Amino acid sequence: MCGRFDQHTLPYRYAGYVDAMLRAASDEPAQRYNVAPQTQAWVARATRDGGRELTPLSWGLVPWFAEDPKKAVKPINARYESVTTRAMFRKLIATRRCVVPVDGFYEWQKTPHGRLPYYFRLAEEAPMLLAGLWDRWRHGDAAPIESFTILTTPSNPLIEKLHDRMPAIVDRADLARWLDVKEQDAAAVSALLRPFPPERMQGYAVSRRVNSANNEGSDLIERAEPAELGELPGIAPR
């Protein structure tokens, strides 16, 4: 799954990477190393004029049909295998796909001594493009809410040491097709989502400070000393 990620790159750099117009907002998210659910994050999506925009959305999908967004379930993840059949997602997979550009994401190892965090990023240190779906909730005079969820796939051999699911990562070569709103064959675009090749990723243990969503700073993505956390076999920087 994906329950926390790192989005510290300046937004204009993300926008350039995905060839999108940066849409600024008064409440736009700052550079963050510890993005948690129910907060704002940068998301890239297609626009009606055929372009792309990078804009802040809330992490945790509020479906358009929710009567009360405060009581909505707000899923932060959705299994890509089920998005074509579940009512909440099947319209979105056809028309409201997006990517969440991140520098990396966190996953935890459960141990008798607590949860040990690990950080995963691309080996080439370029942004990861996490596949997502977005929606817009609007009701009466209430302020509209735009939100997103991150799709997941079965884990690759690197991540499965910690969890059986991982975020779906869109290859940059597939980005245009993934975001193309004219491509409404849900099965065809879902086929773009597959476990990302482990040889193109790297991961390592990081500080337990990331366990609290209240903690921030570049030290959160620095490699922890083995004496502090212990290394998980097969997961180490190249």
Strand partners, 6: 104
Three-state DSSP at 129 gives strand
Separation of alpha carbons 85 and 196, rounded Å: 23
Q: Is 2 one of the annotated active-site residues of the chain?
A: yes
> In this model, does residue 235 exceed pLDDT 90?
no
Q: What is the pLDDT of residues 115-128, one digit of tens each?
A: 899 999 999 989 99
pLDDT at 238 over 50: no
The predicted structure's pLDDT at residue 186: 78
Sign (positive or negative) of CA dihedral 28, 33, 37, 42: positive
Pairing relation of β-strands 40-46 and 52-59?
antiparallel
CA distances from 182 to 20, 97, 120 (A): 18, 11, 32
Catalytic member of 2, 146, 216, 225: 2
20-29 per-position pLDDT tens digit: 999 876 566 7
Q: Is 228 a catalytic residue?
A: no
* Nearest CA among 34, 41, 36, 35 for reference residue 207: 34
The pLDDT, as a whole number, for residue 27 is: 67
User: Could you give the residue ranges of the DSSP H alpha helices within the chain?
Assistant: 11-17, 90-95, 175-179, 186-190, 226-229
pLDDT at 191: 85
What are 14-52's pLDDT values in tens digits? Answer: 999 999 999 876 566 778 999 999 999 999 999 999 999
Q: How confident is the model at residue 187 (pLDDT cuts 50, 70, 90)?
A: confident
Could you tell me the domains of the chain?
Answer: 5-229 (3.90.1680.10)
Single out the catalytic residue among 53, 67, 81, 107: 107
Mean pLDDT, the chain, integer: 90
Per-residue pLDDT reduced to its tens digit, 60-71: 999 888 777 777
Query: Residue 137's pLDDT is what?
Result: 93
Q: What is the pLDDT of residue 68?
A: 76
Task: Give the span between the Cα atoms of 151 and 59, in whole angstroms.
Answer: 12
How many of the other CB atoms lie within 10 Å of CB of 92? 23
Residue 11 has φ and ψ, to the nearest 5°, of -60, -35
In this prediction, residue 237 carries a pLDDT of 43
Q: What is the pLDDT of residue 93?
A: 93
